[in-house]
Structure 1
């Protein structure tokens, strides 16, 4: 049985490679978002203020809802990428703000 290499087979293989790399990027961003949120959560836990942690969760849920309402991406991967990027940005800004606030105090 021979395997014939055609342009169509090459196109399918290239598309599969692009899809795999896209999924790997989404997984990496998800892990980064979990890491940042874990750092923020640990900081809140060490200060004993669960109210701030609840506020953080509300902000993340707001970002998720805003992404769903805007609908400016046509595919699910784009929306997931935007949401994870929003979570990472929000986590970083809150983490740095908390660190700066407690350094001054």
Structure 2
């Protein structure tokens, strides 16, 4: 009986732990948020829209036939360079697009 009560109390203590104490922070994401809020960088959604328009094929999420489209894998932010790197996959090949976070200008494309 004592073991059951001790287990229940321990379970309640774990559940009662505040979520922020369990959450992990991402320094790059925090830097991107600060730079966007201060006006140093464009919002990620705006950067993505610029890059999506420059792709030679549509995004897979925008077409029904996904034979020849780009699958968007996500962004990464480099605080020192103030640049985003967007990662895509098309026909089993990965493509990186580097974008200036201040202007939205595409800096480099690498496959």
Instruction: Place the TM-score, normalised by the shorter chain, in its bin.
Output: 0.3 to 0.5
Structure 1 or 2: larger helix share? 1
Structure 1 or 2: larger strand share? 2
If the length of structure 1 is used for normalisation, what is the TM-score? 0.32
If you compute each CA radius of gyration, which structure gives the higher value, 1 or 2?
Answer: 2
If the length of structure 2 is used for normalisation, what is the TM-score? 0.31
Higher RCO, Cα 8 Å, sep 6+:
1
